[in-house]
């Protein structure tokens, strides 16, 4: 890692690293709705343009956490914000489960279709933030205040946001609402690898590592430099790489509160799923309103209430 750091900074102070990164040209850009990497575009894509077999995998295994059990599954396809797996489990349509690809590689998913032993999974749209829940909630509220300062807040639905008296512990019902309600925020950044700057999308991030969407696979054990703009930069090692998903292990712990300094994107209402996830199941997304994904206004009202406890 020391040689890599020296090549990144080239004798420059650490605070100048972002200048170095900004001078590089992206190695590739690829956008396809939520699953893609950011490119300059006036109108978002509404159809899938990926090669469906681009990330078809052979003899790959993964784990799913399903109804309090861990199940080993065959990983057949991995791209476009979703995956195809083969297993003998029998989930219900739209049921939630976690797909674990490797270290720091857990992805919350929903069952999109079922056929024989094949299951199509759609990934949660937002960037999932790990670590201490109170710190995460405080960070999300600060994000809204910094990035959406002109937000007008509608009166909350009392049935949804009713809270116990300040100072009293949260009831099980309120605690469940707190953990199940979803935010619509997506963070992006870039990684420096072999003198190229590669745009990435954060699928999840915690103090110890992250799961990224990348335009192309990266070699395992490669040393990279993750640039999150105003939220900071840090060195990391690629712990695993599958399809367009890469797991990073941070060299130093990351303070998730720093994410408040980087303006996130909002998850769009429409998402163009890859062909292998369509299967004539319609255009509805399991991450829509019925799955408790809050609007940014509802999220602000909810967080302000919870953080008073």
Domains in the chain: boundaries:
1-48+127-268+282-309, 56-123
Whether this prediction's pTM lies above 0.75 is answered by: no
Bigger pLDDT: 95 vs 230: 230
CA distance 227 to 234: 7
pLDDT for 24: 43
pLDDT in tens, 215-231: 888 999 999 999 999 99
Q: Rounded to 5 degrees, what are φ and ψ at 20?
A: -60, -45
pLDDT for 296: 73
CA distance 175 to 274: 35
Average pLDDT, the chain: 74
Nearest to residue 31, comparing CAs of 270, 200, 242? 200
Q: Is the pLDDT of residue 110 over 80?
A: yes
Q: What residues have CB less than 8 Å from 89, skipping those under 6 apart?
A: 64, 66, 71, 73, 119
Bigger pLDDT: 67 vs 285: 67
pLDDT band at 181, cuts 50/70/90?
low
Q: Which residue has the tokens 């992206």?
A: 26
CATH classification code of 56-123: 2.40.10.10
Per cent of the chain over pLDDT 70 is 60
Bigger pLDDT: 152 vs 295: 295
Q: Rounded to 5 degrees, what are φ and ψ at 207?
A: -60, -25
Q: Which of 179-183, 232-236, 238-242, 288-292 has the lowest mean pLDDT?
A: 288-292
- 91 in Cβ contact with 117 (< 8 Å): no
3-state SS track over 150-208: CCCCCCCCHHHHCCCCCCCCCCHHHHHHHHHCECCEECEEEEEECCEEEEEEEEEECCC
Bigger pLDDT: 303 vs 226: 226
pLDDT band at 285, cuts 50/70/90?
low
pLDDT band at 63, cuts 50/70/90?
very high
pLDDT for 243: 83
Stretch 114-130: mean pLDDT: 91
3-state secondary structure (DSSP) of residue 261: helix
- 29 in Cβ contact with 37 (< 8 Å): yes
Q: Which residue has the tokens 């399991």?
A: 286
Q: Is the pLDDT of residue 100 over 60?
A: yes
Q: Which of 37-46, 78-87, 104-113 has the lowest mean pLDDT?
A: 37-46
CA distance 303 to 258: 18
Q: Is the pLDDT of residue 23 over 80?
A: no
Q: Is the pLDDT of residue 263 over 50?
A: yes
pLDDT for 9: 63
Cross-strand bridge partners of residue 191: 198, 226
Cross-strand bridge partners of residue 237: 223, 249
């Amino acid at each position: 890692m020391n040689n890599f750091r020296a090549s990144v900074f080239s004798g420059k102070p650490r605070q100048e690293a972002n200048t170095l990164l900004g001078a590089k040209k992206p190695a590739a850009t690829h956008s396809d709705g939520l699953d893609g990497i950011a490119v300059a575009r006036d109108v978002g894509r509404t159809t899938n343009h990926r090669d469906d077999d681009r990330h078809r995998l052979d003899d790959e295994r993964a784990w799913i956490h399903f109804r309090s059990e861990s199940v080993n599954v065959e990983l057949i396809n991995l791209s476009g914000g979703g995956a195809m797996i083969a297993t003998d489990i029998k989930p219900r349509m739209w049921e939630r489960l976690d797909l674990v690809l490797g270290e720091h590689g857990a992805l919350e998913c929903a069952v999109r279709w079922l056929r024989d032993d094949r299951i199509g999974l759609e990934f949660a749209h937002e960037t999932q933030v790990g670590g201490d829940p109170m710190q995460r909630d405080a960070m999300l509220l600060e994000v809204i205040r910094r990035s959406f300062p002109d937000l007008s807040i509608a009166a909350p639905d009392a049935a949804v946001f009713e809270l116990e008296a300040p100072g009293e512990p949260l009831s099980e019902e309120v605690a469940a609402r707190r953990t199940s309600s979803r935010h619509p925020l997506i963070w992006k950044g870039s990684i420096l690898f072999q003198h190229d700057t590669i745009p990435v999308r954060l699928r999840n991030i915690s103090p110890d590592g992250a799961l990224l969407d990348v335009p192309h696979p990266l070699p395992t054990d490669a040393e990279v430099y993750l640039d999150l703009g105003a939220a900071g930069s840090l060195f990391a090692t690629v712990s695993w790489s599958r399809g367009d998903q890469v797991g990073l292990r941070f060299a130093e712990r990351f303070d998730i509160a720093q994410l408040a300094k980087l303006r996130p994107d909002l998850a769009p209402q429409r998402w163009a799923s890859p062909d292998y996830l369509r299967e004539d199941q319609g255009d509805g997304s399991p991450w829509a309103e019925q799955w408790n994904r809050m609007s940014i206004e509802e999220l602000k009202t909810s967080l302000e209430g919870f953080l008073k406890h």
